[in-house]
Amino acid sequence: MKIKQVIAGTALAALLAGLAPAAPVLANGAASTRNIILGAAAATYLVIQHNRKVHERYAQDAQRQAQLSQQANDAWAAYHAEQRAYEQEAVANADLKREVAFQHSVVVQQRHELAMAHLQPSFAISSVAAGTPHSGNRAGANQVAMVSYGWGTL
């Protein structure tokens, strides 16, 4: 924005100088050379400042592009990490399914062996002792056997 203001101010000054009534000009070689050198220095300064701004903008654009590229790479890496995690979970699930299928086949095989032995599977403790009339129990009453684990009687 400053460069445009400087250029506009210079152009306005040149226009106003051109509209002013012309006075006879005396040729002075030293002043003319000085003015040419100062004009060239000002033009060089303006070109250098313009190039600096252009290069800054290019650097900002390159940095922005690098950030966008890094974000895209991060998203791509996150996608691949999630995909690997999913594949590992699928492998673990397949292993668990195989284990459950194996356990099921073992249970089926054991049930078949029990059926072949004409035994009914029982999961309850069936230790029943018949009560005797002289032990204080009623006649014909059954008493369940008590199992002790060393804690005494409760």
14-70 pLDDT, tens digit each: 766 666 566 666 667 778 888 999 999 999 999 999 999 999 999 999 999 998 888
**Cβ–Cβ under 8 Å, residues 98 and 90:** no
pTM tops 0.95: no
Q: In this predicted model, which residue has the larger pLDDT, 136 or 48?
A: 48
The ranges assigned to domains in the chain are 38-113
